[in-house]
């Protein structure tokens, strides 16, 4: 009897001890126990920032603990993604990353992390096509006229959201596939690039549809083609590059939530379950052009792996080394 009581006492003592263990109790029973840092690798006002703040607000309200957005900008998002990789894998740092995570390693420049090995892929938020747009006074009203005009004379500058961004590499795919004369001009984000396009300081831009839509609606810019394989519901009358004879150009900007490698699996599941309440058609309606892009964590990783191959080929063809 005495021995049985001793066994029970030891079991209860173990359970009590584990309930206060950071590795067990914090991750399961009381997570989150403190504020969470949500890294957004781009400036305030961009689509990534909008999505990050929607996620942060929902989680703050759902969990009763602050989820604080930190805009850690620079190098087309690389600085913020790198900071995520180097953060403790305790569930208190996550990041809203773009598809550029697959581009950083596509050039010969030094990248301080491995896109496939240094992150946990939590959930896909959505995607948005790029759209080839021109200033309203540009002497082309459709893609065929655009091709004819840009194959003659000196290279035409085109704007993107930054060097080694998805828009940059999409522009290079467009140049190599069509033979048109284009020269990349890197901006620090979509907003300043769009501002110059509308003002006429630059005539051509590869833009995310969410950034371009208000200016398309106002008539300040003209859409010529969509970069995904199917037309966008937000812009149904604009043809895809696939329709126009360039099936190899079929890509979009996407956003997903990631965490440092070895973040506890139970915490990752807590995030996934709560994100299901955020990633809905209602969220897509708040950002015209944004599309649901359902994907498991394994499928996200495979997407990154596939895009790494694609972007390395683009970098090689266009001689992009850094």
Q: Could you give the domains of the chain?
A: 6-127+253-318 (3.40.190.150), 129-226 (3.40.190.10)
CA distance 49 to 211: 12
Contacts of 285 (CB under 8 A, 6+ apart): none
Question: Please, is 96 exposed, middle or buried when counting C-beta atoms within 10 Å of its C-beta (0-12, 13-18, 19+)?
Answer: buried
CA trace torsion 227, 233, 235, 240 (10° rounding): 30
CA neighbor of 117 nearest in space, from 137, 143, 75, 89: 89
Q: Determine the Cα–Cα distance for residues 175 and 154; give it in Å rounded to an integer.
A: 14
CA distance 146 to 81: 36
- Global confidence as pTM: 0.84
Angstrom distances, CA of residue 278 to CA of 98, 197, 266, 275: 17, 33, 19, 5
How far, in Å, CA of 301 to CA of 120, rounded? Answer: 9
Say how far apart CA 305 and CA 124 lie, in whole Å: 15
Walk along the chain (322 residues) and give the pLDDT tens digit of each residue: 445 444 434 444 444 444 444 444 444 468 999 999 999 998 887 789 999 999 999 999 999 999 999 999 888 889 999 999 999 999 999 999 999 999 988 876 788 999 999 999 999 999 999 999 999 999 999 999 999 999 888 899 999 988 888 999 999 999 999 999 999 999 888 888 999 999 999 999 999 999 999 999 999 999 999 999 999 999 999 999 999 999 999 999 999 999 999 999 999 999 999 999 999 999 998 888 999 999 999 999 999 999 999 999 999 998 887 7
Q: What is the 8-class DSSP label of residue 98?
A: E
pLDDT score for 29: 63
Residue 141, token pair as written in the block: 């009203």
Say how far apart CA 58 and CA 283 lie, in whole Å.
Answer: 12
pLDDT at 131: 97
DSSP assignment letter at 240: B
pLDDT for res 3: 54
- Cβ neighbours of 253 (radius 10 Å): 28
């Amino acid at each position: 009897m005495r021995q049985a009581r001793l066994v029970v006492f030891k079991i209860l003592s173990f359970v009590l001890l584990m309930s206060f263990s950071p590795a067990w109790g914090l991750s399961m029973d009381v997570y989150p126990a403190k504020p969470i840092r949500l890294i957004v690798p781009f400036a305030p006002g961009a689509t990534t920032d909008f999505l990050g703040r929607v996620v942060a607000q929902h989680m703050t309200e759902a969990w009763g603990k602050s989820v604080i957005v930190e805009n850690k900008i620079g190098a087309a998002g690389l600085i913020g993604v790198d900071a995520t990789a180097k953060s403790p894998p305790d569930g208190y740092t996550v990041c809203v990353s773009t598809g550029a995570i697959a581009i950083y390693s596509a050039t010969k420049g030094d990248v301080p992390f491995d896109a496939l090995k240094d992150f946990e892929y939590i959930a896909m938020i959505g995607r948005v096509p790029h759209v080839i747009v021109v200033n309203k006074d540009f002497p082309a009203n459709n893609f065929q006229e655009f091709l004819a005009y840009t194959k003659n004379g000196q290279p035409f500058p085109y704007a993107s959201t930054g060097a080694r961004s998805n828009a940059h590499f999409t522009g290079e795919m467009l140049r190599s596939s069509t033979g048109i004369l284009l020269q990349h001009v890197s901006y620090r984000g979509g907003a300043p690039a769009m501002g110059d396009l509308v003002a006429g300081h630059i005539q051509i831009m590869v833009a995310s549809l969410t950034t371009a839509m208000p200016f398309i609606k106002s008539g300040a810019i003209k859409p010529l083609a969509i970069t995904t394989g199917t037309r966008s519901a937000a812009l149904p009358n604009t043809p895809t590059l696939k329709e126009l004879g360039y099936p190899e150009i079929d890509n979009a900007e996407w956003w997903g939530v990631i965490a440092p490698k070895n973040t506890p699996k139970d915490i990752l599941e807590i995030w996934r379950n709560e994100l299901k309440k955020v990633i809905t058609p209602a969220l897509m309606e708040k950002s015209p052009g944004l599309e649901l892009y359902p994907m498991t964590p394994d499928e996200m990783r495979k997407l990154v792996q596939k895009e790494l191959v694609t972007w390395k080929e683009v970098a090689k063809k266009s001689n992009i080394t850094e």
